[in-house]
C-alpha cells in the first residue's frame, strides 16, 4: 500500500486550511453546488484570498483553488426566471469562502 498524502494529487482542491473540499470529493458526495476557482491574478486579491485561507504554510496562489457554493454568487433573477444559465456569474464581494 502506498502512503496516503493529506491532499489528493491532481484535480482542484480548496486551499483553505479548515476546508476539506476537493473536486473528487464534492463529485463523489454529489455536491454539485460547489465550484472551484483559481486564485485571481490581481496581487491585491491574491493577498485577500491567501489571508482567508488561514494557512500556516505558504501557498502558491497561481496553483491554488478555493471552493465556493452557489450562494456565494449574486443571484441573477432574470436568468432564474427565464431558466437559462448566465455566461458569467458574479461572486459577491464578500464571498471569500
Q: Which residues bind Zn ion (CB under 5 A)?
A: 14, 16, 19, 21, 67
- For Zn ion, which is the closer residue by CB, 16 or 72? 16
- For Zn ion, which is the closer residue by CB, 24 or 84? 24
Least Å distance, CB 65 to Zn ion, is 8
Distance CA 86, CA 81 (A): 12
**Inter-residue contact 33 to 11 (CB < 8 Å):** no
**Inter-residue contact 64 to 38 (CB < 8 Å):** yes
Least Å distance, CB 18 to Zn ion, is 8
Amino acid at each position: 500500500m502506498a502512503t496516503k498524502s493529506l491532499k489528493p494529487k491532481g484535480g482542484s482542491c480548496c486551499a483553505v486550511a479548515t476546508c476539506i473540499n476537493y473536486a473528487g470529493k464534492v463529485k463523489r458526495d454529489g455536491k454539485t453546488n460547489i465550484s472551484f476557482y483559481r486564485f485571481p491574478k490581481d496581487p491585491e486579491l491574491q493577498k485577500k484570498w491567501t489571508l482567508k485561507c488561514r494557512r500556516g504554510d505558504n501557498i502558491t496562489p497561481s496553483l491554488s483553488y478555493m471552493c465556493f457554493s452557489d450562494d456565494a454568487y449574486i443571484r441573477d433573477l432574470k436568468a432564474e426566471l427565464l431558466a437559462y444559465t448566465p455566461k458569467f456569474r458574479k461572486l459577491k464581494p464578500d464571498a471569500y469562502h
